[in-house]
A and B are shown apart, each in its own frame.
Chain A
Amino acid sequence: MELNQDNYENDLLLYIDNELTASEKAAVALLLASNPKLAQELKALQEVQLKPEFVEFTDKSSLYRFDEMNATLDPTFKKTLYKSSSNNAKLIDIKKIYWATGSIAAISLSIFFGVNTLLNQPKLQQAELVTSIAPVKNNVPDNLTNILKPIEKTQILSENHPQSIPQNTVRNIPQSNQIIANATLPIIASVTNNDQSILSKETLNADQTPTMVESSAITVDNTTMNSTIAVEQKIEKEIFEEINTEDNDRVIYISNIELDGDKFRGITRRLNALFKRNKSEKNK
Chain B
Amino acid sequence: MTDIAYNNAVDQYADGVYRFIVKNIQHEEDARDIVQTSFEKLWVNRDTVDPLKVKSYLFTIAYHQMIDHIRKVKKYTMTDIYETTAIDPVYQPQHELRQTILKAIHELNPTQKSLILLKDYEGYNYQEIGEIMNLSESQVKVYIHRARLQLKDKLSHLQKASA
Contacts and interface: CB of A to CB of B under 8 A. Distances in A.
Interface stretch (B63-71, B74-82, B116-124): B116-124
Name the prevailing secondary structure of the A interface residues. loop
Contacts of B39: 63, 65
Nearest to A47: B155
B18 interface: yes
Interface residues of A, number: 29
B152 interface: yes
B4 to A, nearest CB: 9
Nearest to B39: A63
Contact of B104 (A48, A56, A64, A65): A48
A17 B101 contact: no
A262 to B, nearest CB: 70
Contacts of B36: 62-63
B48 interface: no
Name the prevailing secondary structure of the B interface residues. helix
B151 interface: yes
Given A9-B149, A48-B152, A53-B121, A65 B3 contact: yes
Given A52-B121, A57-B32, A67-B3, A47 B97 contact: yes
B105 A50 contact: yes
Nearest to A9: B149
Given A44-B156, A50-B121, A17 B144 contact: yes
22 contacts: A13-B144, A13-B148, A14-B141, A18-B123, A19-B125, A19-B126, A44-B156, A45-B152, A47-B97, A50-B105, A50-B116, A50-B120, A50-B121, A51-B120, A54-B15, A55-B18, A55-B19, A55-B22, A55-B23, A57-B17, A57-B18, A63-B39
Given A53-B121, A55-B19, A63-B39, 7 more contacts: A13-B145, A13-B149, A63-B10, A63-B35, A63-B36, A64-B7, A65-B6
